[in-house]
Structure 1
Amino acid sequence: MADAGETSLSQANYSFGRPWPELNEGLSYTDTFRCADAETTTTLIEFYSENYKSSAPLPGWIHRIRNGQITVDGQVVTDPDMILREGSKLIYHRLAWQEPSAPHFLQVLYEDEDMVALNKPSGLQVLPKGLFQQRTVLAQLQWKEWKMPPSSRSKRKDVQLHPVPVHRLGRGTSGLLLCAKTKLAKVRLASYFAEGAINAGKKRDETEVGKERKISKFYRALVTGILKNDEDVVTQPIGLVHYPGVAEGLYVACSSGKPAMSKVCVLERLAQQNQSLVQVEIHSGRPHQIRIHLAYIGHPLVDDPLYGIGGQPKFDDLESSSTDVSFAYDGGYERPLQPVPGDCGYHLHAHWLVLYHPTTNKTLKITAPLPHILQTQQERCDQQVDA
């Protein structure tokens, strides 16, 4: 991306965040029953246990039905063997629960009428998933009152009720998160990220690193071991494999996966600790890409609970810790013993990015302050002088 006309916007404006309620509001999942064969009957328990095996084992679904958590056409049904009729509306009411601890304050790094850039803390999930349905960045964006200038409110027909994230950061990853305030900004920013993923699949002589990209993202990471090369470009594809406790599967280094590209630059070699401080520029945004790519080249993130050398899970024994008679209070599977992708502990920070503004096309640089552990010795000295 060209540096000409670049505007640096690294100062923080303010922070916001509402403390989390003790319990969330629970969830409701709606289905309409369609009978594949008119001559075959389907019971309520057959429908749920066969269609939603990843949510609960058979005894768990029986527990939910007898607990009055299923309605059929508006009526609570507690008989698992009830025969379903074509077109019936089924609703499963998931009970409210206390979500795991998570930070709630968000720092605003940049804001205008089209977008807002946040500094996300480690431990906070971006979008609802799994145990985290309320304690998310999205919820805090929804709860905050966002004000638009009166002159803009009438002109901007595409203004949304609240900003929405246009990309994701892992729960344990901190740093820069872009959110769109308008539908136009959402579409254009999302296209910038998608463009990077497409270019990652091209041969390196077809697309020069950094050439004509609408957005460039730079991360800071602390990895195990001492990297030999000052720079390295990793192009290992990333794909899904079966993994207990993760319904959709686990992303790993996989030859049959989707193209991905990361440029790794060594900033500091910490020989005493047998660690290296690196900057990673990603040219695609595959899930857990940096964790997987650094592990793939033999340098997993320090204290990463999941990914080991080779970009694979650390544990060979991946049998689920749950059995058909072991389930949580609401009937769902118990949390597996082995680590899952949302577990924290590693040190990875979305440090800065450069992008073309979605409406003005001006070049912006936005920076998220570094955690102390990810600063170089020189940066720490400079910080002490400034203080």
Structure 2
Amino acid sequence: MKDHESVLDYTVEPDETGLRLDAFLAARADRLSRSRLKALIKDGHVRVGARKLDEPNYRVKPGETVEVDLPEPEEATPRPEAIPLAIVYEDDHLVVVDKPAGMVVHPAPGAHDGTLVNALLHHCGDTLSGIGGIRRPGIVHRLDKDTSGLLVIAKNDVAHRDLSAQFADHGREGPLKREYCALVWGVPQLRAGSVDAPLDRDTKNREKRAVRRSGRHAVTHYRVEETFENGLASLVTCRLETGRTHQIRVHMAHIGHPLLGDALYGSGFQSKVAKLPADAADALRALFRQALHARSLGFRHPETGETVLFHSDLPSDFETLLNALRKPSEALQGRN
């Protein structure tokens, strides 16, 4: 490899004879994804000897020199914005953020500014080495706009590829852990259980997801931690085995226990607000969102291989509601 980091230089060894050019580079340049390398080849950034090759399926020969000229990452389309962030952890490879409720994760129609991505572009600046050739943060999972809590974001291609694989695997073969706190209406019949129900877009409302046989596999494990007001509401811990859009919200509503404050999936439970003690009812009206917080996040660090685990305290609006629910009578912990 040459002295400056913008050029990668390799010599084909005898045991690599006959490999496709993109496969050869993917094995050597492990900090770049194969799709990124294929794009570099097609864009004319790869030379084999003195020849510039734009054919990813070219078969390399022993002794050939393969040179990759890495262009400077393009600037991301979203503009950087100086938005305060609660950084839980950061290094050269990733950043863990405690997202507030009300913040959209990624720019989308109707939400081009003020997103987490805008904030990260400003915060990380030149420490973003580029995901797929674009200087942008690598989003590997998301939280709904009105869900608060922990998110991990990749800062380079290697971290993005590794973290994406961990989230795609859903923790089956690795240490990935995603745990949420939720306040739900009523008390689930089973104090600990699982909801295994496929999710797809609701055919009547494109903003919603619904349990449908044609949907994608989705599993949520839950555990009742406390109950309040003779079973009017419960504090539940949810652990994701999969990560579908609105998964916890839909699954808890599916078993008859939608989240407090969830206007989209719990609209039929609005009349129950009047049954809450005054302080709790006021706190719920002031919440302006579903009572859901991503409390714990664990994964294998893509660079060190170490298992890391992060925790987030409940935000003040959630905690105020929880304390108000606890006031009238002692929580019935562990009672059947």
Shorter-chain TM-score range: 0.5 to 0.7
1:125 and 2:104 equivalent? yes
Richer in helix (by share): 2
Q: Report matched runs for 1:110-259 at 5 Å.
A: 110-146=89-125, 148=127, 161-196=135-170, 212-243=173-204, 246=206, 250-259=208-217
Q: Report matched runs for 1:298-309 at 5 Å.
A: 298-308=256-266
Partner of residue 296, structure 1: 254
- Using the TM superposition, name which of 117-126 and 133-142 deviates more: 133-142
Partner of residue 280, structure 1: 238
Amino acid aligned to 2:143: L
Instruction: Output the aligned Cα RMSD.
Output: 3.0
Partner of residue 289, structure 2: 345
CA-CA distance at 1:345 after TM superposition: 1.4
2:85–2:98 contact (8 Å) kept in structure 1: yes
Partner of residue 108, structure 1: 87
Amino acid aligned to 1:349: H
CA distance in 1, matches of 2:108, 2:295: 25
Partner of residue 366, structure 1: 310
**Structure 1 residue runs of 4 or more that deviate by more than 6 Å after TM superposition:** 156-160
Unaligned runs of 5+ in 1: 1-102, 197-209, 316-342, 381-387
Q: Secondary structure at the match of 1:144?
A: helix
1:160–1:181 contact (8 Å) kept in structure 2: no
Amino acid aligned to 1:165: I
CA-CA distance at 1:271 after TM superposition: 2.5
Partner of residue 223, structure 2: 265
CA distance in 1, matches of 2:314, 2:201: 31
Distance change in 2, residues 1:243/1:218 (3 Å): same
Amino acid aligned to 2:210: V
Percent of aligned positions with the same letter in both sequences?
33
CA distance in 1, matches of 2:133, 2:95: 13
CA distance in 2, matches of 1:115, 1:161: 14
Amino acid aligned to 1:356: R
CA-CA distance at 1:161 after TM superposition: 3.3
Q: Secondary structure at the match of 1:228?
A: coil
Unaligned runs of 5+ in 2: 1-81, 270-286, 327-336
Report the TM-score, using the length of structure 2 for normalisation.
0.60
CA distance in 2, matches of 1:117, 1:141: 11
1:353–1:366 contact (8 Å) kept in structure 2: yes
Q: Report matched runs for 1:326-345 at 5 Å.
A: 345=289
- Using the TM superposition, name which of 233-242 and 112-121 deviates more: 233-242
CA-CA distance at 1:370 after TM superposition: 1.3
CA distance in 1, matches of 2:168, 2:175: 10
Cα deviations across residues 80-106 of structure 1 (Å, max 9, x unaligned)?
Answer: xxxxxxxxxxxxxxxxxxxxxxx9432
* Corresponding residue pairs, total: 224
Amino acid aligned to 2:98: N
Partner of residue 324, structure 1: none
Amino acid aligned to 1:107: A
CA distance in 2, matches of 1:359, 1:314: 47
Amino acid aligned to 2:85: L
Q: Secondary structure at the match of 1:307?
A: coil
1:223–1:300 contact (8 Å) kept in structure 2: yes
CA distance in 1, matches of 2:318, 2:231: 14
CA-CA distance at 1:272 after TM superposition: 4.9
2:131–2:155 contact (8 Å) kept in structure 1: no
1:354 pairs with one of 291, 295, 298: 298
Distance change in 2, residues 1:349/1:157 (3 Å): closer
CA-CA distance at 1:213 after TM superposition: 2.7
